Structure 1
């Protein structure tokens, strides 16, 4: 009986191989691999030939086998707390636009604002030996923190800032953003100012803290005007909390909402209830979502640089992956107060 040798070029599994794709396209296996991963240095004509060969053969890449062969994957892990929030969708699009042309696959994990879920995702994804990680904020379990630190994998943090040695991060000051909202409402002559927040992740709490400090400095802080709930942020919840706040604190004349969807819900509820905004109560949101400038009245909001954060964080991670020094490990991209009709 003759035993056929099963080398790396064989099709013992019945699946087409990368070598067969390369042969059909008339290129080397390395070029075929780079073309299929979207590496920008491969000529467009060759990319098209390789893609056509892969389609004809029904070839599907095996990233696990590729990582095993090279002892290194071509993936970057990105963990965000929500995929329904436009903030993180915009950030992910920017990250993908930077990493994909470099032949890196983006593995997205959604931990639903749960530190335990994030810990599980980190543990699972580290098993794939990613080239780098992009994490949201600095609030996570001690176990997750130790796993990231001991992995030796380059990591960049997004959305918040921390000047601790050895950390790389891109974001803005949540504290200063909250203070800016308070200062704007105070400048409008409002004195009974409320903060309404939901979800209550660390960044939401920091915005509230910045708002609180500004009011304390102005001598008009009232803890009864803070309305916080761990429930998921939504337009419907915003309307509900608006009704609740005005029922319990009828003299409130300005409200800062920790997210735009809450503020949008408040504006819709005010419209239904005949409550004039900003004459009766001024409203300011946070994140300046695309629909905010089309609300009635148009919503004033803190515009956050979500696309720029994704781009700069991904660029910083590429430098770390390439072993290059990062001149500015902490990048503060700031924010912008968009003043419109609601305040």
Structure 2
């Protein structure tokens, strides 16, 4: 009998549809879905869902705005701060409070799963939490010898950013929300010797009644005045922000690219180049896919595979992970680890997409 699969997920999400399609392709029974919002309201539902031997996979809660808001509310309570209203669509709001709620949920899952040994977990909740804390994750990778861009550390404000730039003698950095995902709120910051500066980001500034709000949008915006850039950095820093040194990406014609690699059971599998004309090359930002093998030299390909495997060893309890890398001149640096990095529809490795492959390699 095939092993059943249970997903903690959002039933109507693209991830669930792709997993169910993969199971149908492999002639496996459909996965059972436990909705995030239902589990958050009734944790005992997990014991019911996992009462028989099965595989268990945690998908991201962000596919369901209601689940996101429940985690945000829980985080505000844990941090003893006033509750916030539900974020508007795409709004970057209290990401640090959301992460506090998410971490507590992962800790609860860890405790529950310890009592349910019949469930084989795809990615351990503790490692999912670590990968979701982008700064802690990069420090964790560095501690395991994985090459990463140089870290400047937390950024407390626009003024603090300027101090860090002077301290490290830098004029270009990437600013990243500590708990963001999919490039939301990431800022490519540059300045020159004359004092001109620019910040390129998918975070759109909105000012209403004297209040600054940030919205993640699918196009890049370039800010060039100190007034706007300071407002942007201060708004992101209030939700926890960090800086890392600028790492040049290799070029492909008039564009540049980085690479996403999915590892399965610790080994590099699916890989794709993400090509675009802006600094952020995430595919959902209307950038295009490219054939990684066609862009990489033999030395680059070897570096890609060795570094992604090295990164995967830093997360031994995670079966399927995604890594974003810059590879050039035979060297690879990991920009980010992603516990939910397998959403790459149609990308094949040895004839299987990411969902079919993870089911056959589990």
Fold conserved between structures, TM > 0.5:
no
Greater percentage in strand: 2
Greater percentage in helix: 1
The TM-score normalised by the length of structure 2 is 0.31
The TM-score normalised by the length of structure 1 is 0.32
